[in-house]
């Protein structure tokens, strides 16, 4: 009403006055702001996405194969401070073709990889309850195939620690800009719907630990992790692990460096070859042209139950023109120590051979 009183009413055929133009602009701008500030509906708060990963393997001493390794669906919502659910359902390890056997569509694994709710206690403090990825390193938190450089995951990034937690996690952010934060978590009993990754897979029981993220942004991250876990294998033999690790990544204009070092003391009822699992890797990615990247990695790892360590060298080429999809081709060479680990959950990670993958986020 005040604007109408102050403005000049243009007569038919006249040019609108300065006040008429200013009034129209003011109304248009505030109409847009009102629309932007409008409360989204319940259905608008939900998001659906996922990724698919198709892998090919040509190991030196085993059958070549093509596998649908991951078909994942993400469902998330942001309702309010207290209701922020997230779920990841996944089909994995579905063979499509095996050398000497032809097409295969006869098996697959289905799991709920993540199912939790975030409670935003304050702007700096979040409580997570349910099943979630353990913050044991950066690789585990972003492990979706389109987002990592190689087909085969480093043993150091997955071995000797629980990759999933069913329980509670508390996170405190000291500085949002630098990513400085601390997370602590506990699994009081056992993992909900454990991911089946092999016949000798250990079952993680009571587990607790934490991660201190020293810095995390688009160019650099570094973190220190601690974890203690009770385990029970398929023969009901109890053991426990107590580990510490450090991981870091540095992105430069001309390269990207990533590393992790891990030491896990293994408590087992019968003597082992060594008292601990320990090892580390160094990986480099170099941008070339038209979205192509050259990848190189060296890893050294000593299993507590093996007499000799495993050395793994990897070179590869990745085409990633956009962040949401990639095509990978790599050669992996392993030392003779890898032959001492038959039938373990790390079969593919320690095989010599050529591997490839096509991965897409959607």
> Quick one: which of 318, 254, 258 has its CA closest to 291?
318
Helices (H), the chain: 2-6, 18-36, 138-141
Give the pLDDT confidence of 283-335 residue by residue, as tens digits: 999 999 999 999 999 999 999 989 999 999 999 999 999 989 999 999 999 98
Strands (E), the chain: 46-59, 65-77, 85-98, 102-103, 109-120, 125-133, 164-175, 180-187, 203-216, 220-232, 238-251, 256-267, 276-287, 292-302, 310-322, 325-334, 353-361
Q: Which two tokens stand for residue 63?
A: 């059958």
Are the C-beta atoms of residues 160 and 277 closer than 8 Å to each other? Answer: yes
Q: With contact defined as beta carbons under 8 Å apart, do 353 and 59 qualify?
A: yes
CATH class of the domain comprising 43-361: mainly beta
pLDDT tens per residue across span 68-87:
999 999 999 999 999 999 99
Cross-strand partners of 60:
none
What pLDDT is stored for residue 28 in this prediction? 59
- The answer on pLDDT for 349 being more than 80 is no
In the chain, where are the structural domains located? 43-361
**Whole-number pLDDT of residue 97:** 95
Is 81:120 a contact under the CB 8 Å cutoff? yes
| Half-sphere exposure of residue 192: CA atoms within 13 angstroms, side-chain side | 17
pLDDT higher than threshold 50 for residue 272: yes
- Per-residue pLDDT, averaged over 184-201, amounts to 79
Q: How far is Cα 237 from Cα 270, in angstroms, rounded to an integer?
A: 10
pLDDT surpassing 80 at residue 19:
no
**Closest by CA position to 242, among listed 268, 264, 275:** 264
pLDDT of 22 strictly over 90? no
The encoded tokens of residue 175 equal 């500085």
Cβ atoms of residues 96 and 104 within 8 Å: yes
Q: Whole-prediction pTM value?
A: 0.84
Predicted confidence (pLDDT) at residue 167 exceeds the cutoff of 60: yes
pLDDT at 197 over 90: no
pLDDT confidence band for 41 (50 / 70 / 90): confident
């Amino acid at each position: 009403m005040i604007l109408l009183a102050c403005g000049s009413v243009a007569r038919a055929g006249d040019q609108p006055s300065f006040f008429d133009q200013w009034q129209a602009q003011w109304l248009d701008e505030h109409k847009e702001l009102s629309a932007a500030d409008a409360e989204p509906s319940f259905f608008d708060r939900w998001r659906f996405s996922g990724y698919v990963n198709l892998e090919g393997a040509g190991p030196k001493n085993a059958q070549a194969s093509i596998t649908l390794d991951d078909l994942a669906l993400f469902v998330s919502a942001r309702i309010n401070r207290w209701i922020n659910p997230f779920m990841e359902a996944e089909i994995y390890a579905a063979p499509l073709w095996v050398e000497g056997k032809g097409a295969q569509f006869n098996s697959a694994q289905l799991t709920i990889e993540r199912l939790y709710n975030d409670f935003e206690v304050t702007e700096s403090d979040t409580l997570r309850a349910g099943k979630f990825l353990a913050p044991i390193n950066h690789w585990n938190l972003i492990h979706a195939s389109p987002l990592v450089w190689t087909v085969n995951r480093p043993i150091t990034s997955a071995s000797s620690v629980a990759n999933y937690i069913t329980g509670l996690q508390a996170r405190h952010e000291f500085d949002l800009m630098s990513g400085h934060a601390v997370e602590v978590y506990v699994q009081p009993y056992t993992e909900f719907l454990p991911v089946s990754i092999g016949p000798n897979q250990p079952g993680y029981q009571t587990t607790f630990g934490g991660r201190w993220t020293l810095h995390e942004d688009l160019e650099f991250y570094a973190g220190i992790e601690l974890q203690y876990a009770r385990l029970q294998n398929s023969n009901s033999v109890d053991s426990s692990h107590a580990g510490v690790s450090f991981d870091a990544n540095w992105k430069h204009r001309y390269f990207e460096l990533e590393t992790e070092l891990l030491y896990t003391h293994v408590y087992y009822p019968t003597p082992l070859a060594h008292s601990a699992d320990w090892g580390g890797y160094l990986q480099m990615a170099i941008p070339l042209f038209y979205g192509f990247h050259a990848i190189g990695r060296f890893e050294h790892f000593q299993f507590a139950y093996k007499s000799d360590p495993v050395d793994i060298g990897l070179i590869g080429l990745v085409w990633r023109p956009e962040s949401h999809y990639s095509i990978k081709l790599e050669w992996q060479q392993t030392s003779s120590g890898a032959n001492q680990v038959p039938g373990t959950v790390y079969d593919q990670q320690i095989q010599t051979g050529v591997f490839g993958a096509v991965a897409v986020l959607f």
